[in-house]
Every structure is written in structure tokens, then in C-alpha cells.
Structure 1
Amino acid sequence: MATKQVNLTVIYDLNCPFSFIGQKEISSAIDEVTKTYNTLHFQVEYRPYVLHPSIKPDQPQDRTAHCIQTYGDEKASACLKKFKERGRDVGLEISEGGILVNTDRAHRLAYRAWKKGGQSLQQTVISNLFQALIVNHKDISNINILSEIAEASCLMSKDQAITYLNSDDDVQVVEDQIEEARKGGISGVPVVIIEGRWAISGGQTRDVYLQIFKKLAGCKGFINSTCSPESTAKALSAKIVA
């Protein structure tokens, strides 16, 4: 039987803990569904979004103070607590504090990883960037820190990363992808786009993704590409927003 590829585009920002948690939830759901539907193959591409464009490189802000200023004490406390609890559910130790940073340079590294090594290398780089910022509270707008992550991820050497990040390489394409997301109506992340047709918004759980992927795979004829868009759409969970 022919393999069917499902293309997922994940719009994310490294400042967003739910984007980090979502990476784990999506990967877990894909691993589970492909055990049953072994002809199903997923290609996952991460594309950038910037939640806090006013933050300057090398000038991190306190996450807790920002949340309190934006949402007030009570809502900020509940939100930060939820980050910690959801993180623990997927094996991540996310503290309630931390920092917010400019993510432009880090997004360029992630894009370069996609160009060089596709899904596998991009996932590695993004995981390491998330770990550095969300768990270890490192300023991933800093070129020296980014160069260490690039080398540890086998993307490029420290010296190569410093040269790359001090250049204009990929600046425009990353800015264009961010603008494309904004023009597409995206104002928050994560957003997972399936086959360029359907979007799942918000920090969904593994079970939600698993339900959707199973319904896609189980739609008659989907694996051999004969399923119509209309019947596929009916098979999807109500969590998907067209």
C-alpha cells in the first residue's frame, strides 16, 4: 500500500511555553497514530511568529512582571501555574518565572535548520532553543548563546553561527513568514495547519491531536488520496477551525 504523507505546518514562538508543550504533544500523537496506520507519514515544518515584537535583542524581560502588567495579578498567577502543570504532564520542568526575549535570531537558526536538514534537524534545534529559554532561562537572543545551541545541535560550528547571525542571511524570508502568518489572521500561537486547509489553534493536548489524526487516517480513502475535502472535513474534530 502506498504511503500517504500528511503535511503539518506549526506556527510558533519560542517565548510561548504552550508552543514548547505542543511540540511534545504533537510528536507523541504522531508516534501513537503511526503505530496503527503504518502507511501514514507526517512531515512537520515549524514556521515563526513573534508574540512580543517590542522586545529588543539582548534585553530580556521578566516573564512574571510582564504577565502581571498585561493580565493583572490573579490571571497572571493562574496562567503561570498552568504553564508549570501542563509542562509537568509532558515531562518538562517549566518554572513559573523566567524571561521573555527577542526571538528573531533564534527563528533564523530554526529556519536554517529546516533548509539544511529538514524536519529532523529543525526539531532538534527548536527543542534545544525551547529548553534553553523556557527551562533554563537563557537569553536566546544573545548570539553567543545561540552559537552554542547551533553547535550542540549539529547545525553549524560556533564560529559559523556567529558569522551567520551577524549577517543578513535569511532575515527577509523569516520576516516574510511572520508577516504571512499575521496576514492569515493568526494573532496567537501555537497554530497547527493540516494540509494547508484546516487549523488547530491553542495549546491542545496529545489526546486532541491523536483524535484528529486518527479521524484523518480513518477517513475512507484518505491514505490513498481519494478522500474528498468535504468528507475529510466532516471527519475532523470540532477543535479544528476552517
Structure 2
Amino acid sequence: MAEFTFEIEVYSDTICPWCYIGKKTLEKAIATYTAQHPAVDFKLTWKPFMLWPTAKTSAYQKGAILHAIYGPRAPVMFERLARLGALHGIDFRWEGKSGNSRDSHKLILLAMEQDDDDTRSSSSPSPPGLEPTSTTATATTTATTTTTNNSTATTNPLLTYKQTKQERTIAHLFASAFEQGQDLSSRAFLARAAVTLGLVGSEEEALAYLEQQADEEDPEAGRRQPGSGTGPARRGLAKRVDESSARARQIGMTAVPSYVVQGRWQVGGMQGEDVWLRIFEKVRATKSGKKNEEGSSLDGLTTREEQPTVTNGGMQKESTEIR
């Protein structure tokens, strides 16, 4: 058992390039810190934060979106993204369409639910003579690549903590959008990605899941989605994405990426490795950064004074409304 587990909630939007860089810098910080402190562990949970919930599907060129957001500052931002991306092995490409990110967040929710199912299964007693199995993968010194339907999902060899299905889904979507010219608002692409990632058995199953807009009160909702179970967590997908975005704004988040550490420390913007290492030290040293036993992981959110200065950028909804 780990001496200390860092629990980090990541609020991001799949169409935000800063969130992709932010993921890479956080992973690098985790790798550095766990190398120095092998007894600690990290648990990351990705939360939807839609920048433009009213955006149309496949309606915009990726580069045009940044020009609309940053105006005359766009060339500087393109250069900055290219420079920071190169530091983390990201080759940003701005061709291709983009649009509403709601469906991509549904796919991430599906991966999270399957992770939860795997955790429950692995914690259940096994029949005599059978050992429990786990579907999470621990990164090694070489990347593992799976290719299906002309699409590739690659695990991150840098990580020293367990990579969940949600982590692999996030990584695949970011790489597809920003390095391979894919459109994350396209259900056809997302269906292929779901099969590639092993979240569903067929593209037809994935499309049925993405089209699901069931009301929370519908008792049949869960049965129409991939995976087992019919509880509330498997219903009202679009509503859950929107509620997560609304919750983020309620607690004062105005940009992505944003983070909540141990349900208490709010970190705004894409931070560098050095900032994360200082945060890890501070949280671990206090030991009081653990989540409250009552309520959700955000109930103890305080310490505005602990929020580091945003130095490396992010994307704000307020800058431009994309419709």
C-alpha cells in the first residue's frame, strides 16, 4: 500500500491544446516525483469542462478557432504552443475540423465507468484457485501500441503510475485531435476510437452509446449503454457532462486546464513541472490535504491563497463564445 496517494481531479476540454500540454507536464512531474518518492501513488480523475457547449458539430477549422479566440495575438500563441509542444514530444497540426466536444466527454465517462467496474471486480473475493485480474496497465520503459481500424492507441512510457482506461482514452483523443487532424466532434471518428481503445466491441455499439440522451428517470437507460449495471451513474450522459462544467464554474474555475488536488487545493492553468513538484511537496508535507470523509471531493475546496500563479497559459470560455 502506498504511503501517500495524491488524488487529482483534472478539469479539461478535449478541444483545448493547452490541456494536452498540461497533461504532458503533469505526467512528467509525476514521473519525477515518484522516482524521488517511490512510496507515493497518484490517482487522476478527468472531469468535463466544456468551453463552448453551444458549438456546432464539425463546423470550424482548428486554426480558425485559435484566431477567433486570440485575435491579433494568435501568431504568438501558435509559436508558443509549437515551442512548448516540442518540449513534450507534441507535433501540433492545425488542419482539420473541430466542434462541440460533448460526445468526446461521453467517451471519457464510459472509460471512467469501466475503470470503476474493474476496481469493484478486482476487490471482490475470487473463487478458490482463481486470482483476480485487472485491466489497468502499468507503464514500462517501452510504449505499448494497439492498432485497430487504421487508428493507433499508445500508452505513455513515461508514467510510473497505473494507466487507467480513462487515461488512455484522454491521451488517444488529444493525440488524434492535435497531431493527426481528427475531428473530436465527429461521432464516426469517436466510434472508431472507442473500438480501438477496447471500450466497446463494435462501432455500432459505440454510436448507440454516443446517441444516448436518456433522462435520469428512465429505468431502461443503463441497459442501452455498453457495460453492465443500470444505476444512475450510467444515465443522462449529456446532462452529466453539462453538470460537471457548471460545477467547475460554481467553484470559480474560468479556464482549462484546472485542477483540484486532494479535494482542496485548486490549481489554475497549465503549470510547469517545477510548480507541480512544489505542490506535491506542500500537499504531502501537510498530510491535511486529504479529502473530507463527507460529501464529494470538492466539498473541502479552500485555500485560494494556495493557488499558484498561472504562468503557461490556458483557454478561457469568456474570451470568445464559439457557436
TM value normalised by structure 2? 0.65
Question: RMSD of the alignment, in Å?
Answer: 2.6
Return the letter of the residue paired with 2:44.
V
Deviation string for 1:134-192 (max 9, x for gaps)? 11121111111001111111111222211101112422222211111122221210001
Which of the pair has the greater relative contact order for Cα pairs under 8 Å at 6+ separation? 1
Alpha-carbon distance change, 142 to 2 in structure 1, aligned in 2, over 3 angstroms: closer
Please, which moves more after superposition, 171-180 or 123-132? 171-180
Residue number in structure 2 paired with 1:72: 71
Residue number in structure 2 paired with 1:148: 192
CA distance in 2, matches of 1:51, 1:237: 21
If you compute each CA radius of gyration, which structure gives the higher value, 1 or 2? 2
Residue number in structure 1 paired with 2:171: 127
Structure with the bigger percentage of helix: 1
Q: Which runs of 4+ in 1 moved over 3 A?
A: 96-100, 220-225, 236-240
Deviation string for 1:92-139 (max 9, x for gaps)? 111355543210000010011011125610010111111111111211
What stretches of structure 2 of length at least 5 have no aligned partner?
A: 117-162, 214-234, 292-302, 311-323
CA distance in 2, matches of 1:38, 1:223: 19
CA distance in 1, matches of 2:249, 2:167: 23
CA distance in 1, matches of 2:307, 2:248: 23
Q: Find the residue that maps to 1:94 and give its secondary structure.
A: coil
Residue number in structure 1 paired with 2:205: 160
Residue 191 of structure 1, aligned match among 252, 258, 266: 258
Q: What is the CA distance between 1:211 and its match in structure 2?
A: 2.5
Q: Find the residue that maps to 1:6 and give its secondary structure.
A: strand
Q: What is the CA distance between 1:201 and its match in structure 2?
A: 0.9
Return the letter of the residue paired with 2:5.
Q
Residue number in structure 2 paired with 1:100: 98
Total equivalences in the alignment: 230
CA distance in 2, matches of 1:221, 1:106: 35
CA distance in 1, matches of 2:247, 2:178: 26
Residue number in structure 1 paired with 2:146: none
Deviation string for 1:202-239 (max 9, x for gaps)? 1112222122213333x1656999xxxxxxx7xx6844
TM value normalised by structure 1? 0.85
Residue number in structure 1 paired with 2:247: 180
CA distance in 2, matches of 1:220, 1:196: 14
Alpha-carbon distance change, 51 to 65 in structure 1, aligned in 2, over 3 angstroms: same
Does structure 2 conserve the Cα–Cα contact (< 8 Å) formed by 1:9 and 1:194? yes
Residue 180 of structure 2, aligned match among 119, 126, 136: 136
CA distance in 2, matches of 1:198, 1:9: 10
Q: What is the CA distance between 1:60 and its match in structure 2?
A: 3.0
Q: Find the residue that maps to 2:45 and give its secondary structure.
A: strand
CA distance in 2, matches of 1:103, 1:224: 32
Residue number in structure 2 paired with 1:20: 20
Return the letter of the residue paired with 2:51.
L
What stretches of structure 1 of length at least 5 have no aligned partner?
A: 226-232
Deviation string for 1:51-84 (max 9, x for gaps)? 1223212x231233233334323x0111111111
Please, which moves more after superposition, 206-215 or 150-159? 206-215
Q: Percent identity?
A: 25
